[in-house]
């Protein structure tokens, strides 16, 4: 697969920075045409230029994933423009941390809307073109917080745990259609989101990680590349923790 018409087409949400940007670069390097989705069009344009400079293919779709009509139109336009949609990576996410007794309805709902409901909307819209193409890979980016919970992140943990249930249900429904759905659950990864954490919190995270370091975005991107690749067709409904061993303790 080397030309525009035969490359598999992948959508990556939350692609403007961090894990999403690295996933997009990695998939482009694996001969995917990557559709970059996020709200910040300027950042997406910079990433597209970098991907193309490296010999990859990418296009930009500025989209608010919490706007259902906008997200569905983005997926529909991708199918219309390229005649296919093969890969969906739901990476978009936010945090609104607070202790449960202090957490507002708005803080809970906003995280669920962005981190979980948008993935539901995107998966539902993407399944039809995948079924027509008789091939598909869905990877939803969860978190170790969705596996073990985290104090001060009841909203985030609930959304990330919800992604696991959503993904496994899709995997069971779509297995006979040659569509695989899996979860990647990162631990503490060096991104803008974790950079803002107090140093004490980061130190504790490293101490809780058997590999004694924080992960890098490319660690997560490598897992996504495998699960969206040609050789992962018999892997579905799985949760791959990319966490340096944190959740095995």
CA dist., res. 30 & res. 17, Å (int):
19
Catalytic residue among 21, 156, 223, 227: 156
Which is nearest to 216 in space by CA: 21, 2, 3?
A: 21
Which is nearest to 215 in space by CA: 246, 239, 240?
A: 246
Determine contact, residues 119/111, Cβ cutoff 8 Å.
no
Determine contact, residues 184/220, Cβ cutoff 8 Å.
yes
156 is catalytic: yes
How many Cα neighbours within 13 Å face the side chain of 79? 19
Q: Which residues pair with 137 in a beta bridge?
A: 87, 180
CA dist., res. 29 & res. 8, Å (int):
12
Helix 217-227 crosses helix 18-29 at what angle (to 10 degrees)?
A: 50
Which is nearest to 15 in space by CA: 94, 124, 117, 90?
A: 90
CA dist., res. 123 & res. 179, Å (int):
11
CA dist., res. 183 & res. 65, Å (int):
19
Token pair recorded at residue 27? 């998939």
**Catalytic residue annotation:** 156
């Amino acid at each position: 697969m080397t030309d525009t018409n035969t490359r598999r087409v992948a959508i990556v949400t939350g692609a403007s920075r961090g894990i999403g940007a690295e996933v997009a670069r990695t998939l482009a390097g694996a001969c995917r045409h990557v559709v970059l989705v996020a709200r910040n069009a300027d950042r997406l344009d910079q990433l597209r230029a970098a991907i193309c400079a490296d010999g990859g293919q990418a296009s930009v779709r500025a989209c608010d994933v919490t706007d259902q009509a906008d997200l569905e139109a983005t997926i529909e336009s991708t199918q219309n423009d390229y005649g296919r949609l093969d890969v969906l990576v739901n990476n978009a996410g936010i945090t609104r941390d607070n202790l449960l007794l202090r957490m507002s309805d708005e803080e809970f709902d906003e995280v669920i809307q962005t981190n979980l409901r948008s993935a539901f909307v995107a998966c539902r819209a993407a399944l039809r073109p995948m079924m027509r193409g008789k091939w598909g890979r869905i990877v939803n980016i969860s978190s170790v917080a969705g596996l073990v919970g985290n104090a001060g992140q009841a909203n985030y943990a609930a959304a990330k745990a919800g992604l696991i249930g959503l993904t496994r249900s899709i995997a069971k429904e779509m297995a006979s259609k040659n569509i695989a759905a899996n979860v990647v659950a990162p631990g503490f990864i060096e991104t803008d989101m974790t950079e803002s954490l107090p140093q004490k919190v980061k130190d504790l995270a490293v101490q809780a990680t058997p590999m004694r370091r924080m992960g890098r975005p490319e660690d997560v991107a490598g897992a996504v590349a495998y699960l969206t690749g040609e050789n992962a067709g018999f892997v579905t409904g799985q949760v791959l923790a990319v966490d340096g061993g944190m959740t095995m303790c």
